[in-house]
Structure 1
Amino acid sequence: MTNKSLYHIGFGQDDLGASAPRIALLSGDPERACLIAQTYFQDVRLLSENRGLNSYVGNLSNGRSILSATSGMGAPSLSIVVNELVQVGIRQIIRIGTCGSIQPYVTVGSIVISSAALCRQGAANDIAPVEYPAAAEPFLTVALIKAARELEIEHYVGITASVDTFYEGQERSNSANPNLMRSLHGITEEYRRLNVLNYEMECGTLFKMAGVYNFAAAAVCGVVAQRTFAENVILSKKDIAVNNAIATAIHAIANLE
């Protein structure tokens, strides 16, 4: 652990206080990191806004110390933040994100709890070989499942496809680049047949880092797009999906032994 302020996250061990948190909620969006802290934390304190990687520390209602941090978009940014969070003593990380469903039964507004990831990410290859498993920590994952059941939130558990790009990598052609490489044509249907539930851009690298760095990681994502019939994000249901994911993570942490 380090007491000095780390270059990217902008804080060090000393900034976390006497009862430093061991668990972090990690969001790609700095506004989501703020929302989590302001809604669910007591005695909340801003640690840093360095590089837009906003971080907050506080306590849950049961007194558990907790961190809400920003990973930025995509695996390269996440890999930097996670490395530095581990350096300041974080030992459990739950990613709270958004995703696109690729199964017809996984509905917009629900959540996906990732048991493992099909990891198609360059950053992860710098952490461990392609063959290295990208698996969530089972006890944190079960805690998320239990929380979703108790809160009666529609949820699905299974394999997530983690890719590096939002458009090409997720077979979106309605963008500035309609000419996808041949290797990407039909990949969504291929993943659908492999029982992959959703697309997102971070948890595969997070899970590989957890295995190599020896910390516990899990992921819960709100479903904001249904890729069975369209490429667009359903903005009218985004808040519902995100709030469901946040509530699930908070309830899970509050009830951890």
Structure 2
Amino acid sequence: MDGEGVEPCGRPVFVNNPHLDALADDVLYHFSLGTKTHNLPAMFGDVKFVCVGGSPWRMKSFIEYIATELNMEDPKSEYPNICVGTDRYAMYKIGPVLSVSHGMGIPSISIMLHELIKLLHHAHCSDVTIIRIGTSGGIGLEPGTVVITKQSVDATFLPRFEQVILGKTVVRNTDLDESVAQELLQCSKDLNLFETVIGNTMCTMDFYEGQARLDGAFCSYTEKDKQDYLNRANEAGVCNIEMESSVFAAMCKLSGLRAAVVCVTFLDRLKGDQVNSSHEVLHDYQLRPQKLVSCFIKKKLMTKAGSQTA
């Protein structure tokens, strides 16, 4: 489908797959989009910021919040889901900001990222910053603390993402963009609304045993075993635990995207396993990454506008 898009400039979004060139139509199945059925450059060519998070509700809430912050809100708009043809993911857009849900865990976010990276590539986007906003369990932090990830580590505290491809284990780097992390930390200082730290994030394959919880359907270790493990994680610089950051960091690095992870902690895992704060408190916590990332985006857009008028 022909149409005028935004001409690429600056830092492009890379794909490394020669097989894509042979496709007459690249179907982004889980988004219900495609290169033949949709004018992706016209729809997404102006995207400069992508925010991703687990639930569709959270990502719609974010797009509504950022629209207000950027003075782009439309009282008559309900911010329609671009991926209305599927129930796998939800996607919302306002101006240069794209908001996408990714589900829970490494497999779900991995599928979403493959199609998102291709979408940005087909749309000729450039100079894109992508940020995961989410929730996590903290280690030695007060609930409600926001953690900006320095590096994602696995359950053995090593900075790597392992994936089996064609029967062979492939290890990928999980570094995130240090400059974006520092800019986000400065935004938190400017807001002065909640505690924010930079630290390592442990990414696991499971919510229960993989995170040393004692309250799953199965558990073969003791309270002491759990505490020893979490203390070792803390000594390795781990501030929080979630289930998406490693593959997120690895795939964003491969595609040339500047990436960051911003997660609020719901509890201190050294003091318990179950999330038992009130709905109101948890709702307030979930808004904190949104506020921080919105501040970052506003600041970047204001800086760009200032440089263009100078």
Q: Which category describes the TM-score, using the shorter chain as reference length?
A: 0.7 to 0.9
State how many pairs are aligned: 246
**Distance in 2 between residues matched to 1:135 and 1:58, nearest whole Å:** 29
Aligned ranges for residues 126-205 of structure 1 at < 5 Å?
126=163, 129-130=170-171, 132-152=172-192, 153-180=194-221, 185=226, 186-205=228-247
TM-score calculated relative to the size of structure 2: 0.72
Contact (CA 8 Å) 1:98, 1:221: kept in 2 or not? yes
Aligned ranges for residues 69-84 of structure 1 at < 5 Å?
69-84=100-115
**Distance in 2 between residues matched to 1:254 and 1:190, nearest whole Å:** 38
1:125 equivalent in structure 2 = 162
Identity of aligned residues (%): 24
- 3-state secondary structure, aligned to 1:24: strand
Residues 4-62 of structure 1: CA deviation (Å, up to 9, x unaligned): 55111223462562753132100011110111112322354420142341110113xxx
Post-superposition offset of 1:189: 2.0
Flag the 1:8–1:18 CA change in 2: closer, same or farther, 3 A: closer
1:55 equivalent in structure 2 = 91
Highest CA radius of gyration, 1 or 2? 2
Flag the 1:5–1:39 CA change in 2: closer, same or farther, 3 A: farther
Name whichever of 72-81 and 32-41 sits farther off: 32-41
Indicate whether 1:101 and 2:138 are aligned: yes
Unpaired segments ≥5 residues, structure 1? 60-64
Unpaired segments ≥5 residues, structure 2? 1-14, 68-72, 305-310
* Structure 2 counterpart of 1:198, one-letter code: N
Name whichever of 107-116 and 8-17 sits farther off: 8-17
1:62 equivalent in structure 2 = none
Contact (CA 8 Å) 2:161, 2:173: kept in 1 or not? no
Indicate whether 1:33 and 2:59 are aligned: yes
Contact (CA 8 Å) 2:138, 2:268: kept in 1 or not? yes
**Distance in 1 between residues matched to 2:183 and 2:98, nearest whole Å:** 18
Name whichever of 247-256 and 6-15 sits farther off: 6-15
